[in-house]
Amino acid sequence: MIKIANAPCSWGALEFDLKGKSLGYREVLSEMVETGYTGTELGDWGFMPTHPQQLQAVLKEKTLELLGAFVPVALWDEKAHPAGIELALKTAGLMFDAGSKNAFVVLADENGSVEERVKNAGRITPEMGLTTSQWEIFASGAEKVAKAVKEKYGMRTVFHHHCGGYVETPAELDRLMELTDPGLVGLCLDTGHFAFGGGNPVEALEKYYSRIWHVHFKDFDPKVGQLAKEKGYDYFRSVEEGVFCELGKGSVDFQAVVAFLNEKKYDGWIVVEQDVLPGMGSPKKCAAHNRQYIQSLGL
């Protein structure tokens, strides 16, 4: 049975150091529950309690399941691997000790940290990508993180492709999947990021379903994507302009996505993410719309 969650990023609680302030975790979780969601991700480290018993108590109070946590690591830089493994283990340990032993470490590049990638999100060319040696370092780092988490906690790691960082385009995702152990590194398919990066999410589902252990539902507004190309928006300006719109208002074919998942008898979580900058928009209203839209698809 497919279950529906949301995530703190839909309320502007992002991993980036940005101006503005999102609501506190209690308000965010309350609004999630009020708009019909039964699960959440952890959000950036420190957004929710970092003491296991306190975290467990909050989740129990809100009757929410914890599904995973976003862990950004500059995987292309071998010097960043030890600290990345430490962060992943700290995050996995918090979830494990809070009783969420089946949650995922959602591993990603340290998005927003490489100027060229941030400036050109949605229009990445091969020349902006990793070198052969950097690819090997990147893939090795992902495997090291996943192995450490699996060996210590028995928990799985999924990689989240993401605009504004390395591994954005379909070709880049293909390369990472080729270079990593399919039994060790799974994939978190994010429909909006894949579309913004130039791909078709349904094709990604068909190609990588055996590795897709976790799914993020995000829509992509191609009109904003086109404006970003014409006006040279960076990643954050694109988000500010609404490149990740409410579900059903962009180009992602969610009917086809849901039909595919149902056909495959997918029984994991779908996590709605409508990334907004801190203090931007009406997150609760959007969360309600997105839940209603998913209900219209039979979920």
The string of pLDDT tens digits covering residues 134-150 is: 999 999 999 999 999 99
Give the domains, in start order, of the chain with CATH numbers.
3-296 (3.20.20.150)
Sign of CA dihedral 240, 244, 245, 246: negative
Confidence of residue 44 (pLDDT cuts 50, 70, 90): confident
What integer pLDDT is reported at residue 1 of this predicted model? 86
Q: Tell me if 155 sits within 8 A of 105, measured CB to CB.
A: yes
Question: 19 pLDDT exceeds 70?
Answer: no
Confidence of residue 280 (pLDDT cuts 50, 70, 90): low
- Supply 187's token pair: 């994939």
Round to whole Å and give the CA distance between 134 and 55.
37
Round to whole Å and give the CA distance between 249 and 243.
11
Condensed to tens digits (0 to 9), the pLDDT of residues 213-268 reads 999 999 999 999 999 999 999 998 999 899 999 999 999 999 999 999 999 999 99
Helical H segments across the chain, by residue range: 25-34, 52-62, 81-97, 115-119, 132-153, 170-179, 191-196, 201-208, 222-231, 235-240, 254-263, 283-296
What integer pLDDT is reported at residue 278 of this predicted model? 61
Condensed to tens digits (0 to 9), the pLDDT of residues 67-124 reads 999 999 999 999 999 999 999 999 999 999 999 999 999 999 998 889 999 999 999 9
What integer pLDDT is reported at residue 11 of this predicted model? 87
Confidence of residue 18 (pLDDT cuts 50, 70, 90): very low
Round to whole Å and give the CA distance between 183 and 107.
15
User: Residues near 116 by Cβ (< 8 Å), separated by ≥ 6?
Assistant: 128
- How much is the pTM? 0.94
Mean of the per-residue pLDDT values of the chain: 93
Question: 22 pLDDT exceeds 80?
Answer: no
User: What DSSP character marks residue 251?
Assistant: S
**Three-class DSSP category at 195:** helix
Confidence of residue 16 (pLDDT cuts 50, 70, 90): very low
- Supply 286's token pair: 């959007």
Give how far the C-alpha of residue 118 lies from the chain's centroid of Cα atoms, to the nearest Å: 17
Whole-angstrom Cα Rg for the chain = 18
User: Residues near 119 by Cβ (< 8 Å), separated by ≥ 6?
Assistant: 232, 234, 235
